[in-house]
Chain A
Amino acid sequence: MFRSPTRTSNGQRGLRVLIACGLVLTSGFIAEGIGVQDRGRHAVNLDAVLLAYRAGDFGVVARTFTRSPDFHRALAGDGLRLEQWLGTWEPGKALLVLDLADVSTTVAPQYTRTLLGVGRRYVTNHAMVARQVPLHATFVRDWHRTAIALLQGGAASAAVDDYLDELRRHPAAEAFTDVRLTLARAIAHEQRCWHSRPSLLQDGRDVRDLIAASGARIRDEARRDRRRRLDAHQTCLVQLLASFEAAAGTPNTSAEAQVRSAWTLVQLGRAEDALHWLDRADSGADRELAYWASLFRGRALDALARHRESAEAYRAALSTHPRAQTAGVGLSLALFRSDGVDEADRLARTLRASSGTPGDDPWWTYLQGDRRFVAGWMARLREALP
């Protein structure tokens, strides 16, 4: 059923799409995106969606579920219906589940985890069958990478951990060994540290004096709680360094692990060490990674009061992503702290006046891990379909 990728002519593919669409139209399928008016009368016909999908109409999933989010029908019984429909191994079905999950992240995020859970069981249970052809191993690896990236996009670190734990517990666990997943687990850890940041990280004399003088009353138990949370956060970050170390030893993930380690070190107040890690990291052609590396270099230099150098680091970040607001903020603040007050003010005004999209600034997707690779990985998986 699963074959090496073969090329079809545009004419052949167009004909297949036409036939598939016709079947969807006559099936009573809820698909206002392709003109059917009887919304809500019938349950989702996944066979029809699959047919169109296999014919090369990959947009059918987004059209169907974005405009008529009918995930609750497809997932009745915690995905049991979908699981029953999947049945025997077919890569096209596995890929369709990924597309469903991708669409769900924007229109019905409460279903993403369920969809990927069903998909994971489907892929892992048939993994040995799939691996009988060498190409299938790549397909399975990319499938899991993409699934985890979609979970990361939802900033659900617990879901990533659960997914990875399920893979590890599987009898064929060795089949799923992938250093990218080691990095994914570290990033899930990073998310937990980030979201547990305590307030008033500056537990120094300045802040204490200012708060006391301002008349704010911080009860002793609140102080103790803050101290406890500060300690827990520091411990989280120290353990995170070890998690990244595991991913730093492999060429494919070492640069990203080093850059993320550097950011962890900045948060731990070890700016010099962070610079050392950044000097070692080679971002290669990865533009997002290059941006993050420059951004964190700027932050490390700021922490060392080397504001002129940090300005240069932020300029380097802007050279890869000229519309990135966060690097612009960094540059403005560095200029403000290094005799460039007028330029800092001009830049701040420009930044606030600019419109932007999430894609402009990789800082906004930093904690979403491999979400940035999903489009490319999905394209590669689709290429592998017959």
Chain B
Amino acid sequence: MTRLLSVLVLLAGAGLTLDAGPQTFRTSTHAVSLGVAVHDGDRVVASLGVDDFEVLDNGVAQVVSSADYNLLPIDLRLVFDTSGSISDDDLSHYLRAMRDVAATLEPRDRCEIITFNSRIADAAARQAPPVRITLQRGGPDGTAFFDAVSLALVTVPDVERRQVTIVLSDGRDNASLFDEATVLDLARRTDAVVHTVLPGDLSRAQTALTGRLHAIAMLTGGRLTDAPHPRMVGRVLIDALEEFRRSYVLRYTLRGVAVEGWHELTVRVRGARYRVRARTGYLGG
């Protein structure tokens, strides 16, 4: 069975070296599918072809066989912290944001919405638009950020679709069985790009918590943004989705590198000083 590892890469040249740690390999083939977003300043660069990209997989140059731009349908997964610290007013803003972002989906896209406090629940099971949303609080009070985000990172590779997960949370946790190490491990394994959105002002947030949100996004090829006011959440989510939609999917067959273990990725655009955003690597096997 051929299975591709979908990887969206959003920042080339980060120069990260990651300890792979103990690994279990989920794939048996060597085909890699990789998402890449390219910007020139704030402008999306949408006219690149196969030959424009340079991909290094564990330092070895790969031959890119295709570079599709906005061809595949999207599976969007929204994850919202709705724990007790979120006021009813904020919750109503969140509901509006969910509806706004769902309204931007194309008919071939799919959406699911997950909420959490101590308990993790669907506000909308995976479905094509129009999306029916049932938002309600339930379960004991508490914030199981690690458990909820880890579970949201469980994805099935699908070469016919692209997966993006957007997490809205301040990163606090007081109720999870799992921990930061688990979330980061899952972030290396998931096939989705994860954007994280801080409900608040990033410049005033605790750096340790925003570091947590940064790390999850970085590992998966997403980025951390903030929504200083609950009214802005919808706009931020739509921007993140739009950025994901306007990105490339590169494909290559792995060569010159052992399949097993952690693969550090570097993606560049030849002959240009574009900002290329990428995930830092993936687990092969």
Contact residues of A with B, CB < 8 Å? 194-195, 198-202, 204-207, 209-211, 213-219, 222, 226, 295, 299, 302, 304-305, 307, 325-326, 329-330, 332-333, 336-339, 341-342, 344-345, 348-349, 351-353, 355-356, 358, 363-364
Contacts and interface: CB of A to CB of B under 8 A. Distances in A.
B150 A199 contact: no
A326 B21 contact: no
Interface stretch (B42-50, B101-109, B173-181, B250-258): B173-181
A329 B120 contact: yes
A216 B214 contact: yes
A213 B218 contact: yes
A213 B175 contact: no
For the residues of A in contact with B, the DSSP-based class is helix
Contacts of A302: 182
Given A199-B209, A333-B186, A341-B157, A352 B122 contact: yes
Interface size class of B (residues with CB under 8 A): 35 or more
Contact of B177 (A326, A341, A345): A326
A307 B215 CA distance: 24
Instruction: Output the residue of B140, B154, B210 with the most chain A CB within 10 A.
Output: B154
Contacts of B57: none
Given A348-B151, A349-B126, A336 B189 contact: yes
Given A209-B17, A358-B140, A219 B207 contact: yes
Contacts of B206: 199
B147 interface: yes
B9 to A, nearest CB: 13
A103 B34 CA distance: 57
A379 to B, nearest CB: 24
A330 B151 CA distance: 9
B150 A329 contact: yes
Given A352-B120, A352-B121, A356-B139, A199 B208 contact: yes
Contacts of B125: 349, 352-353
B242 to A, nearest CB: 21
Contacts of A356: 119, 138-139
B224 A325 contact: no
Interface of B: 11, 14-19, 21-26, 114, 118-122, 125-126, 138-140, 142, 147, 150-151, 154-157, 171, 174-175, 177-182, 184-186, 189, 206-212, 214-215, 217-219, 224, 280
Contact of A195 (B19, B114, B150, B174): B174
Contact of A211 (B139, B156, B214): B214
Contacts of B181: 201-202
A200 B171 CA distance: 10
A364 B141 CA distance: 9
Contacts, number: 146
B140 A216 contact: no
A329 B178 contact: yes
Contact of A351 (B151, B184, B280): B151
Contacts of A213: 11, 14-16, 218, 280
A201 B208 contact: no
Nearest to A198: B208
28 contacts: A198-B208, A199-B171, A199-B180, A199-B206, A199-B208, A199-B212, A201-B180, A202-B180, A202-B184, A205-B19, A213-B15, A215-B214, A218-B207, A295-B177, A304-B22, A305-B24, A329-B178, A330-B177, A332-B154, A336-B189, A339-B24, A341-B154, A345-B156, A351-B151, A352-B125, A356-B119, A358-B139, A358-B140
Given A305-B21, A333-B151, A336-B186, A325 B120 contact: yes
A233 B196 CA distance: 27
Nearest to A306: B22
B24 A337 contact: yes
A265 to B, nearest CB: 14
A333 to B, nearest CB: 6
Contacts of B174: 194-195
Contacts of A339: 24-26
Given A206-B184, A213-B16, A329-B150, 11 more contacts: A194-B174, A200-B208, A210-B219, A216-B214, A304-B22, A305-B23, A339-B24, A341-B156, A345-B155, A352-B125, A358-B139
